[in-house]
Chains A and B, each alone.
Chain A
Amino acid sequence: MLASERESLRHEIAELAEKYEHKRDGMMPILEAIQEKYRCVSDFAMQEIARQLGVFPTEVYGVASFYSFLSTEPRGKFAIRLCRTLSCDFAGKKEVARQLENELGIGFGRTTPDGQFSLEYCNCLGMCDHGPAMLVNNDVYTEVSPELVSEILEKYRRMFGPASQLEEKEAAHV
């Protein structure tokens, strides 16, 4: 990590920790904020969070490794999560899963080499009456079919490019 990146990360974490009065219950919101922005909670971030909250770095690591929506390894810019629970399974998630793998060229549990998409299963999204259901970051998609998959992915692919990246970064600051 560049020294400048470290500095800015340190500063961000200090600000977040301040918001939660450097208490341990700030752990989840801080981890979530870092995950949201950087797509993972890095080694350095965890140690810094530990320092700011007065806990052991291993405790931060223990928490970060427990939850499905947090990761210590970088996820894709767009994290695709396909529900695999029974109702979505009945509604045809297997075909959608296959199509996702085809479109992205990766298997479940992986991230595309360009770091743009990561693909994983998740459990019941609470959209069982409109399955198969899928999340792309925080966007919900229901009644996903194999045909729809490529449309959905295309929408996110078109979000690359300097202009849209800038917009996204600004949005993340809100």
Chain B
Amino acid sequence: MSSVVHIMERYEAGSGLKKALSMSRTDVIRTVRESGIKGRGGAGFPTAVKWNLCAVAQSPKKFIVCNADEGEPGTFKDRLLLTERPEVLFDGITIGGYAIGAKLGVIYLRAEYAYMKPGLEAALAARRERKLLGKKVLGNDFEFDIEIRMGAGAYVCGEETALIESLEGSRGEPRNRPPYPVNTGLVGVPTAVNNVETLIACAHIMVKGPEWFRKQGTDASTGSKLLSVSGDCAKPGVYEVGFGTTVREVLKLVEGEGAKAVQVGGASGHTVPAKQFGRKLGFEDLATGGSIIVIGPQRDMLDVAENFLDFFVEESCGQCTPCREGNPKLLEGVRLLKQGRCSINYLRELQNLGRTMQVASKCGLGQSSANAFLDVTEHFRSEILGRVPASKE
């Protein structure tokens, strides 16, 4: 683990919640706002803004949803948090529920993490015993409970409106936005969807105050970030660094300095070539949900692009034309490149297509699925053109 310990710090179950309940809801949101925290799932929306929009929305019923559908390739930090810090998470959810005025928090847990469910259910049952959940949480006039709902194997359900569709019993197809979930969410009522790490960070912020969080990171990207590092490095695992850390510094930590490239932010992130390892993690430049995959010099960048596009072809929900039809075209293009059969002109067409996908797709999946392809075909030109496959010709 890194030198800075924030999110994984020891935490007394209920401490953040107790603090929050001693404040008004507005003050809770103000505290979160002062910390400057932005969503830790990858999208980076300011948490306080989301909670506030939900809080001011007029509705007798509201929901807070914890997005535990961690599916971005290379991301496993939520797995760690869910197995080792569930109490902090439950506090965070309850705090959020209090802030926005919800009575129910739903944890959308991906099907692949089903083995965690019994443990989490048991922990929730224990909380109900201790009045950390129930009709009068910690004796306050605040009713709240948490329910776990399982996903069923769809990466796209990590997108908040697709997640909501799934909870409503439909196909995980993202909705048109506007309206946004903070106004029209689960069953049409205001809903805040937050990442596991975000909620845990908020619980810590309640206890330690917003200034503690601001000690790390930059002005626009406050706080620390959990990184899930894997790939060609000696020390893969979960690390916590402040935003503003460079890629090079991360590689040093994980002993992966010989890397040719680093994939920051998973399949939908950025492929950073070695010459750009000075770039900084954060919402100003390399926004990430935390996935860092180290790509060693022996790897074929087209294999990397193919792997990611294969992923997106499988996981696209299939609603909108650019993503559903565009991803297979890009994948086909990568395969053509691998066979040395792609003309420069056609490559250019595919790059244009990728750029259209980035702006015309209906949701974040389609808007970012072309990223790896564009990055690889831009930064690794020399290795992708003119291939002569070893087996024939």
Q: Which residues of A come within 8 Å of B, CB atoms?
A: 23-29, 31-32, 53, 55, 59, 62-63, 66-70, 81, 84-87, 89-90, 122-131, 135, 138-140
Which residues in A have their C-beta under 8 angstroms from that of B78? 126
Q: With an 8 A cutoff between CB atoms, is B167 at the interface?
A: yes
Whether the Cβ atoms of A124 and B75 lie closer than 8 Å is: yes
Asked if B171 is at the interface (CB within 8 A of a chain A CB), the reply is yes
Neighbouring A residues of B167 by C-beta, 8 Å: 25, 28
Q: Is the CB of A126 within 8 A of B172?
A: no
| 1/0 contact string of B227-247 vs chain A (CB within 8 Å) | 011111000111000000000
**Cα distance, A125 to B228, chains bound together (Å):** 13
Chain A positions within 8 Å of B296 at CB level: 90
- By the criterion CB–CB under 8 Å, are A85 and B307 in contact? yes
* CB contact between B229 and one of A53, A127, A129, A130 (< 8 Å): that residue: A129
A53 contacts across to B, CB distance below 8 A: 169
**Neighbouring A residues of B153 by C-beta, 8 Å:** 67-70, 122
CA distance in complex: A127, B304 (Å):
18
Q: Do B149 and A128 have beta carbons less than 8 Å apart?
A: no
Any chain A CB within 8 A of the CB of B335? Answer: no
Interface residues of chain B, those whose CB is within 8 Å of chain A, are 70-76, 78-79, 111-115, 149-155, 166-172, 187, 228-232, 236-238, 263, 267, 291, 293, 296, 299, 303-304, 307-308, 310-311, 314-315, 317
**What's the minimum C-beta distance from B141 to chain A, rounded to whole angstroms?**
27
CB distance from B89 to the nearest CB of A (A): 16
Point out the residues of chain A lying under 8 angstroms from B154, CB to CB.
66-68
Chain A hits for B303, CB < 8 A? 89
Q: Which residue of B lies closest to A87 (CB)?
A: B230
Chain A hits for B263, CB < 8 A:
86
Cα–Cα distance between A129 and B304 once the two chains are bound (Å): 17
Chain A residues in 8 Å Cβ range of B71:
123-124, 126
Q: Decide if B112 touches A126 in the complex (CB within 8 Å).
A: yes
Interface centre among A125, A127, A131 (most CB of B within 10 A): A125
Beyond A28-B151, A67-B111, A128-B76: 5 further Cβ-contacts under 8 Å? Answer: A25-B167, A32-B150, A68-B153, A126-B75, A129-B230
Q: Contact check: which of B76, B291, B317 meets A127 at CB < 8 Å?
A: B76
Are A126 and B79 CB-contacts (below 8 A) given A63-B169, A86-B293, A87-B74?
A: yes
Chain B nearest CB, measured from A24 CB (Å):
4
Q: Is the interface of B mostly helix, strand, loop or mixed?
A: mixed
Q: Which 7 A-B pairs have the closest CB atoms?
A: A27-B169, A68-B153, A67-B152, A128-B230, A129-B236, A69-B153, A87-B230
The answer to whether A125 and B166 touch across the interface, beta carbons within 8 angstroms, is no
Q: How far is the CA of A165 from the CA of B307 in the complex (A)?
A: 38
User: Which single residue of chain B is at the shortest CB-CB distance from A90?
Assistant: B231
| A26 and B166 alpha carbons, distance in the complex (Å) | 10
User: Which of A28, A55, A89 is the most central at the interface, judged by chain B CB atoms within 10 Å of its CB?
Assistant: A28
Q: Of A28, A62, A86, which contacts B231 at CB under 8 A?
A: A86
Q: In the docked arrangement, what's the CA distance between A108 and B193, Å? A: 35
Contacts of B70 in A (CB 8 A): 126
Task: With both chains docked as a complex, state the minimum distance between the C-beta of B40 and any C-beta of chain A, in angstroms.
Answer: 15
| A31 and B307 contact, Cβ closer than 8 Å, known pairs A86-B74, A86-B293, A90-B231 | no
CB-CB under 8 A from A27, the residues of chain B are: 169-170
Within the complex, the shortest CB–CB distance from A82 to chain B, in Å, comes to: 12
Choose from B76, B169, B171, B228 the contact partner of A26 (Cβ within 8 Å).
Answer: B169
Q: Which residues of B contact A29 (CB under 8 A)?
A: 149-150
Please judge, given known A-B contacts A69-B152, A86-B307, whether A129 and B76 are in contact too, CB under 8 Å.
Answer: yes
- Nearest-CB residue, chain A, relative to B108: A28
Query: In whole Å, how far is A85's beta carbon from the nearest beta carbon of chain B?
Result: 4
Q: Are A122 and B112 in contact (CB under 8 A)?
A: yes
| B-chain residues with CB within 8 Å of residue A125 when the two chains form the complex | 112
Q: Which residues of B contact A26 (CB under 8 A)?
A: 169
Are A123 and B299 in touch, CB under 8 angstroms?
no
A-B contact pairs, 22 of them (CB 8 A): A25-B167, A27-B170, A28-B150, A28-B152, A66-B171, A66-B172, A67-B151, A68-B111, A68-B153, A70-B153, A84-B307, A86-B74, A86-B307, A87-B231, A89-B303, A123-B71, A123-B315, A124-B71, A126-B75, A128-B74, A128-B228, A128-B230
Query: With A28-B167, A63-B171 given, is the CB distance from A126 to B115 under 8 Å?
Result: no
Knowing A25-B168, A127-B79, A129-B237 are in contact, say whether A138-B115 is a contact too (CB < 8 A): yes
Cα-based distance from A127 to B112 in the complex (angstroms): 10
Contact A69 B307 (CB under 8 A): no
The answer to whether A28 touches B76, judged by C-beta atoms less than 8 angstroms apart, is no
Q: Which listed residue, B72, B237, B307, touches A89 by the CB 8 Å rule?
A: B307
The complex places the Cα of A59 from the Cα of B78 at a distance, in Å, of: 32
Chain A residue numbers with a CB within 8 Å of B149 are: 28-29
Q: How far is the CB of A86 from chain B (nearest CB, A)?
A: 5
Complex CA–CA separation, A59 to B238 (angstroms)? 41
